[in-house]
Amino acid sequence: MKYKRFDDMNCSLAQTLDVIGERWTLLILRDAFLGVKRFGHFQRNLGIAKNILSARLNRLVAEGILEKRESAEGAHAEYLPTATGWDLQPVLLAMVHWGDKHRPDPRGDRLVFVERKSGRPIRPMSAVSEDGRPLSPAEIRTERGPALDDPARQRQ
């Protein structure tokens, strides 16, 4: 009896959760986005056990989210986000924004994301219409896509 896998659910959310839903994975990815590259730095930053960190890094490499390579000096390995990994940035931004809003620190935001060129803060994450207007949850409708039209798999 293994833990139930999510990736056979024919649901994009379940696919994603299957890859990044394990404990610690997103915190590791956050540090990678902030420039942390080495095993020991992840470990001390996060206070994670080494065997767990090892397992998570290997999984992230296997899933194509981090790339493992020898450092310039050749002494140690480095873990760097791939393009696929960077595509998860919106997930992290959305979670950080929720945490800032609903579980705030009294002293203010903990991390601020700014546009590199202008130095000005980005907008809070939100759905955006085709022509660029922010959309509230109530303005969005969910439809079944082509991959769900198999009646044998209908939900509800």
Partner DNA sequence: GTTTTCGGTTGCAATTTGCAACCTTATGGT
Partner DNA sequence: ACCATAAGGTTGCAAATTGCAACCGAAAAC
Distant-in-sequence, close-in-space partners of 85: CB < 8 Å, separation ≥ 6: 29, 32, 60, 64, 65, 66
- Which residue, 16 or 124, has its beta carbon nearer to DNA? 16
| Residues 77-136 interacting with a second copy (rule: CB under 8 A) | 84, 86-103, 105-123, 125-130, 132, 134-135
| Residues 65-84 interacting with a second copy (rule: CB under 8 A) | 84
| Residues 21-60 interacting with DNA (rule: CB under 7 A) | 22-24, 38-41, 47-52, 54-55, 57
Retrieve residue 152's tokens: 């044998």
What does 62 bind: a second copy, DNA, none (CB cut-off 5 to 8 Å by kind)?
Answer: none
Query: How far, in Å, CA of 54 to CA of 60, rounded?
Result: 10
Residue 13 interacts with DNA (CB under 7 A): yes or no: no
Query: How far, in Å, CA of 7 to CA of 94, rounded?
Result: 23
Query: How far, in Å, CA of 143 to CA of 34, rounded?
Result: 36
| Residues 64-93 interacting with DNA (rule: CB under 7 A) | 73, 75-77
Least CB distance to a second copy at residue 40 (A): 12
CB of 69 closer than 8 Å to CB of 80: yes
